[in-house]
Amino acid sequence: MALPTQPDSDVAAPPGSSFTALIKRHAEALGFNKIGIVPAEALSVEARQLKEWLGRGYQAQMSWMERDVEQRLDHRLHFPDAKSVVVVALNYFTPAKHDDDPATGKVSRYAWGDDYHDVVGTKLRSLLAWIKDRYPKTEGKVCVDIQPTLDKAWAVRAGLGWLGKHTNVITTEFGSWIFIGELLLNVDLVYDSDQIEDHCGTCTLCIDACPTQAITEPYVVDSNKCISYATIELREPQLPESIAEHLSGWVYGCDICQDVCPWNRFEQVTSEDRFQPRAGNVNASLTELLELSPKTYAERFRGSAMKRAKLAGLQRNAKALL
């Protein structure tokens, strides 16, 4: 299929079906594994679920979840011209394995390589630049986790996968080892309407395996009880005793609920080199973490998602394991 020629600058929007297909093809060429496009409409069912979750206090100290709630439910409140949402998934699985050396702490798989915010964001900005080069009147906004948006809800709506009982999006092709991002556009495109059926069935392996019972019921996680939340987001000098006693060797994040998921037997190795594990990012030496200074910490975790926990948080976690 030939690329469209550069249109006159007065053309405000691309043709629907042909350009929609080209956007998807170029997104795949940039390395995205799954792409779905849906209209930028307000989320309704998710609104009730989010407000109920917040009402229970399950956001713990993540106070930003309480801010801009309406923006999280409607892209048009932070990008008023939004008409289409291009939702993408990027497989990050690599076949390295944790070891059980008590002198080290296990790191969540998503943080083994380069920071996904940078990787996914760079690809989406490239996609937007490609679109604008062909249709200069097109405007867009890139969203990768840090913007007020419900990434997982949009991935489900766009038909990329379904929300598992552990609250991660599961795909039939890559399991749950995916990063999600969105590109908001001010143009109408041809939209996907098919969604993936929930294939969790009667399985409760993720709920049963969680050592802190953080999955309080199917599809609901209480962050106050979550090892991943505590070791990454919690800004307290000590971990809660209920967490510290059940770390199971985790120093940054936790993958237990994903590791036991039967759908992750369909994992495929990522083609993105930037997700290959950095030295010391699969199992981190606890003594090395404790010896880090602010300077060596900044150098060690430059461009890594592990910087999210801050130096104080990583050293607190290392002490708890020791």
Give the residue numbers annotated as catalytic, written as ranges. Answer: 145
- In 3-state terms the chain splits into helix, strand, coil percentages (rounded to 5) of 40, 15, 45
- The C-alpha atoms of residue 125 and residue 140 are separated, in whole angstroms, by 9
Between CA 265 and CA 157 the distance in angstroms is 24
CB–CB of 148/72 below 8 Å?
A: yes
Provide φ and ψ at 60, rounded to 5°: 55, -125
Residue type (1 letter), 157? R
Q: Nearest-CA neighbor of 90 among 56, 114, 119?
A: 119
Q: What are the angstrom distances between the C-alpha of 274 and each of 55, 87, 114?
A: 38, 21, 6
Q: How far apart are the C-alpha atoms of 85 and 189, rounded to whole Å?
A: 9
Dihedral Cα 61, 181, 123, 41, nearest 10 deg = -130
How many Å apart are CA 16 and CA 187, to the nearest integer?
A: 9
The CA distance from 80 to 74, in Å, is 10
State CA 165 to chain mean position distance.
16
**Phi/psi zone of residue 167: left (φ > 0), alpha (ψ -120 to 50 degrees), beta?**
left
Q: What angle do CA 120, 125, 128 make, to 5 degrees?
A: 130
